Structure 1
Amino acid sequence: MTMCDITVPAPDGAASLARIGAVLGEAGVSLEGGGMWAEVAHYLVAEGDAAVRALESAGIRDVELRPTVIVPLDADVPGALGRIMTRLADAGVRLLAQYSDHDNRKVLVVDDPDAARAALA
């Protein structure tokens, strides 16, 4: 199963997230991780196309769908995130977003998923 990041405008904060959650819930799309920052929500979904269709059918525009790179993170090891990010930066990979999923892994939304996977292998 390929997990995707959906990026959704959320200009009204909690009200936007309530609507997004209701629309996706009604469509049977499960949110596997994510959050909201600066009026933009990012969510990890297995059913990316279904999520986009449901949101757009509900009148929610400017939804973006991107592949993700999901990596384990030793959260109890100081500097683990820094080492991952250094490898991406050294490989010239542009990070667009990062958050955690429900399995405590890092979800990376990047401009070049293949290059990111190679850098982190």
Structure 2
Amino acid sequence: MDDVKIGEILLPGDEETQERREKKVRDRFWPTFRKAARQIPFSRDVVAAYYCAVDRETPLRVRGTLLAALAYFVMPIDVIPDVLAVVGFTDDIAVLSTAIAMINRNIKERHYDAADDVLADQPDRV
């Protein structure tokens, strides 16, 4: 992560960039999350962040920051390739935890409720 700074990854981008990221995130979030769930110590927060990012009531800048972090998470090629056992998701975890810390007050109870519902419904698949 030395060459790529987390702050650069988390830039919200313009509306076109956010739309492109949202499509990638919607298409790839669940398969990627299922692979990484056991390695992410704050899975509930990540799922709640997903619901916050796709919620049209979330402020645009917050959505942009979350979509940037989630897009980084779902991309198969990043600073540390996700296929590497144990360490593959460490950079993703760093980016996600930074984004969540930055916008935490914008993740609402309804986002956590949605995360709880998904995680409770599919414990063997997550």
- TM-score interval for Structure 1 and Structure 2 normalised by the shorter chain: under 0.3
Structure number with the higher helix fraction is 2
Greater gyration radius: 1
**Whose RCO is larger (CA < 8 A, sep 6+)?**
2
Could you tell me the TM-score, scaled by structure 1's length?
0.28
